[in-house]
Amino acid sequence: MQPKPNIVHLPAYQPGKPVEDVQRELGLAEVIKLASNENPYGSSPKAKEAIAREAANISVYPDGASIKLTEAVARHYGVNPDQVIFGAGADEVIMMIARAYLRPGDETVMAASTFSQYRHHAEIENAVTIEVPMKDGKHDLPAMLAQVTERTRIVWICNPNNPTGTIVTRDELESFLTGVPSSVMVVLDEAYAEYVTDPAYPNGLELLKRFPNLVVLRTFSKIYGLASLRVGYGIGEASVIRSINPVRLPFNTTRFAQAAALAALEDQAFVGECRRKNHEGRQVLKQAFDRLGLDSFPAHGNFVLVDVRRPSTEVFDALLRKGVIVRPGHKGYPNHIRITVGSPDQNGKLIAALEAVLREDQVPRA
């Protein structure tokens, strides 16, 4: 047997290390995970209640089209229900878009250091990935625009960008969208949108009317704290969403995910509280990095990419021995680690552990 030749070299996704594994392997009593941008405050209690209520229907297929949730999300954002498509996480929406739009040899443009799944799915479709170098950890939109040709099918913009945490501003995005031919799809991944507090941040949904080639991705995994349930969505022009729908699996979101997401969406007080605490956490981390003489990129999501001036995998190992899991090994940033903003207690432990690792000089400088 022979798999498709373009997928044999592809790695399976490497998730953050699970807390239980580290506890067992290193015999540590307490381990904190700041590696996967999960919400340290969990999720709305209303989401858990909704799941408990749904347990009675465990043997019944979910509503394949997520009608109630679709209506609620559409109402929440002031769009029509036919403009929304759900996936098993925004990850699945990325896969569906690639599957629906990329043919072998088509070109797709993205930033050089961004969310890995855009390239991953482009390669599965045998498309050609054009990676554009970042500028100070930011998407270089004029340089990306210059790479758009008649072969380009999709441009991916991650805003805030994972892993750098930077944003492109409304002006930057609007001039990019104005320059891109309307035949090119622009996917704006806003997985962390709800965490952004900078007024220069563009709300992709407000741009949909003017730019019908735009598809905005959002998720319930991050600020809503429902990562385990796998539910995310894309919003775009109705005809574009309709064009993606044929590749969606019939029952790709579960009853529990739909019920929990619906309840979580209604609890905007929880979202606001998480945004506020995350904003404070970002400032605490920034102050600590400044004190330790470490440069970090302006963080707009719930994570920070910080230059530890030592090989990131070694700092990762040293922090792991102290019971803190972070994320090393980001393309183009060999000396940076990505740290999820945790609770005040977790942030304090991370700062103490990082300070000890640097002070003890456990890791030689790069």
Ligand X SMILES: *Cc1c(COP(=O)(O)O)cnc(C)c1O
Could you list the residues that contact ligand X (CB under 6 A)? 37, 89-91, 115, 158, 162, 189, 191, 219, 221, 227, 232
Which amino acid is it at 150? E
- Residue among 241, 195, 179 at smallest CA distance from 215: 241
Closest distance of CB 158 from ligand X, Å: 5
Closest distance of CB 238 from ligand X, Å: 22
- Residue among 333, 324, 271, 323 at smallest CA distance from 302: 271
If the CB atoms of residues 304 and 358 are measured against ligand X, the closer one turns out to be: 304
User: What tokens were used for 309?
Assistant: 């001036």
Distance between CA atoms of residues 225 and 39, nearest Å: 5
Task: Answer for the pair 31, 251: CB distance below 8 angstroms, yes or no.
Answer: no
Closest distance of CB 29 from ligand X, Å: 29
- If one counts every other C-beta atom within 10 angstroms of the C-beta of residue 59, the result is 5
If the CB atoms of residues 101 and 118 are measured against ligand X, the closer one turns out to be: 118
If the CB atoms of residues 116 and 126 are measured against ligand X, the closer one turns out to be: 116
Closest distance of CB 253 from ligand X, Å: 11
Distance between CA atoms of residues 270 and 245, nearest Å: 31
Report which residue's Cβ sits closest to ligand X.
89
Residue 298 vs residues 167, 179, 244: alpha-carbon distances, Å: 9, 27, 34
If the CB atoms of residues 300 and 322 are measured against ligand X, the closer one turns out to be: 300
Phi and psi at residue 301, in whole multiples of 5°? -105, -145
If the CB atoms of residues 164 and 351 are measured against ligand X, the closer one turns out to be: 164
If the CB atoms of residues 62 and 89 are measured against ligand X, the closer one turns out to be: 89
Closest distance of CB 246 from ligand X, Å: 21
- Residue among 260, 253, 209, 196 at smallest CA distance from 235: 209
Closest distance of CB 95 from ligand X, Å: 10
